[in-house]
Amino acid sequence: MNMSAAARVVLVSAIASGQGKTTVTAALARKLLRQGLRVRIFKAGPDFLDPQMLARASGAPVYTLDLWMVGLAQCRSLLAQAAAEADVILIEGVMGLYDGTPSSADLARAFGVPVMVVLDASAMAQTAGAVVMGLRDYGPVDLAGVIANRVGSARHAEMVASAMRKVPLFATLPKQIQSLPERHLGLVQPDEVEALESVLDGIAEQLVFDADAWNGLRTISFDAADAMPSVAPVLNGKTIAVARDAAFAFVYPANLDCLRRMGAALAFFSPLANEPVPSIADAVYLPGGYPELHSQTLSQATDWQDSIRTAHAAGMPILAECGGLMALAETLTDLNGMTWPMAGLLRGQVRMQSRLAAIGLQGWTTPYGELRGHAFHYSRFETAIAPVAHATKHPSADAGEAVFRVGALTASYFHGYFPSCPAAVADIFLGSALT
């Protein structure tokens, strides 16, 4: 692939988490869509929940951009593909503008993308100007403007605007009567939000938007000379069963694309609905998700449990990431202290805790190179099983998540980003144990 395309692009960031980046990005996407524009959204950094919500707001899959996990060349290729299909690209940043290694600011500078700052103005007025100037000059970054969130009144918006000096106030959004709900890992999944489409339409309608300022943004061209690297079709003829439901919903769209590019056919099934592993499967992928919220249902899904035990006993390759690992332990103790029997392929107990157990980028060094990804979980796995490897935290290089191997089952709290090392992923699903 060698193409060049252009679109208006902004990176939506803030001083910290909790400022309303996802709500504002969703509102802006829906607003632009209703004006007849084609919109694509990306999420900076590892995340599964925000992309699900943003995909519903924009009507298109939301892919990840990260200079370390995804890589500069693949980020450029993803942006070029999106620019060829859309008029507008919105990139939602991660945490605060300068947080992380790499940060959202690093991503913006790498591609010459201007930054749109979301500012929670609920407890400030003129001081908003000082905050914005600091964000602009610290890096510095190319600051396109500001969207003031949780504004109390028209007069409040005027006070914020007057404090911005020469920085445009692109939009304001009032305090929300109905906002996007959250739980311990972040936003709730879109299918759990009652009347989500009307919620998204509602926040889009409340976004007071300066169309002239938006139309004044320059377009940015992306040359995808560095195309996605080709991968060998080593999974040709293989069918991978992928668990997909409310308990197993944390998967990068790029992971599924990567499996298909290697030639695999994908067959989706729902353990929550007590569906067994499809009979046509040659391997099983159990992504992360929220098994702790559905532990009783999973404990009673005897057809699913019997089928995964049978598959494992037959030597079928299985990859279980985070929530997948939790569902294969002997028991899972939820946040209410209730203990439920799980599939039992991994000797040990999973216990939920109120304190975060791990968060951040990690990489797993394999004979094929480094499979990059991340970890984010509130549970711990108590087991006597000896790990076969550990991922490494980025950038500290400290020991990260344990990787367990039981027969042809590979299990870890580590979430891999498959395109970072397709050969390692193929090896797992072919059952050769990365040896």
Helix (H, G, I), strand (E, B) or coil at 310: helix
- Of 46-50, 244-248, 385-389, 399-403, the poorest mean pLDDT is in 46-50
pLDDT tens profile 69-106: 999 999 999 999 999 999 999 999 999 999 999 999 99
- The domain over range 4-223 is classified in CATH as 3.40.50.300: yes
- For residues 169 and 115, give the distance between their C-alpha atoms in angstroms, rounded to a whole number: 13
For the residues 143-160, what does the mean pLDDT come to?
92
pLDDT at 181: 55
- 161 pLDDT more than 90: no
pLDDT tens profile 30-42: 999 999 999 999 9
Q: Cα separations (Å) of 68 from 9, 41, 58, 219?
A: 21, 19, 26, 25
CA neighbor of 4 nearest in space, from 72, 62, 61, 76: 76
CA neighbor of 184 nearest in space, from 360, 355, 327, 349: 355
pLDDT at 200: 87
- 225 pLDDT more than 80: no
According to CATH, what is the number of the domain 239-430? 3.40.50.880
DSSP class per residue in 34-94? HTT--EEEEEESS-SHHHHHHHHHHTS--EEE-IIIIIHHHHHHHHHHHHHH-SEEEEE--
- 190 pLDDT more than 80: no
Q: What residue spans define the domains of the chain? A: 4-223, 239-430
- 19 pLDDT more than 70: yes
Q: Which among 75, 258, 322, 421 is annotated as catalytic?
A: 322
- 249 pLDDT more than 70: yes
Looking at the DSSP bridge assignments, the partners of residue 4 are 223
Confidence of residue 197 (pLDDT cuts 50, 70, 90): confident
**Known active-site residue 322:** yes
Check the CA dihedral 378-383-388-392 and report its sign. positive
CA neighbor of 167 nearest in space, from 114, 113, 123, 206: 114
pLDDT at 1: 44
% the chain with pLDDT above 70: 93
pLDDT at 189: 56
For the residues 363-373, what does the mean pLDDT come to?
97
Name the one residue in this structure whose structure tokens are 């103790």: 333
For the residues 273-280, what does the mean pLDDT come to?
98
pLDDT at 213: 84
pLDDT at 242: 98
Helix and strand numbers (H, E) in the chain are 13, 25
- Of 45-54, 84-93, 110-119, the poorest mean pLDDT is in 45-54
pLDDT at 434: 60
- For residues 166 and 145, give the distance between their C-alpha atoms in angstroms, rounded to a whole number: 9
Predicted TM-score (pTM) of the model is 0.93
On the question of a common fold for 4-223 and 239-430, the answer reads yes
pLDDT tens profile 321-363: 999 999 999 999 999 999 999 999 999 999 999 999 999 999 9
- 145 pLDDT more than 90: yes
Strands 329-333 and 208-209: unpaired
Does 407 or 180 have the greater pLDDT score? 407
- 194 pLDDT more than 60: no
Confidence of residue 2 (pLDDT cuts 50, 70, 90): low
pLDDT at 48: 87
pLDDT mean across residues, the chain: 92
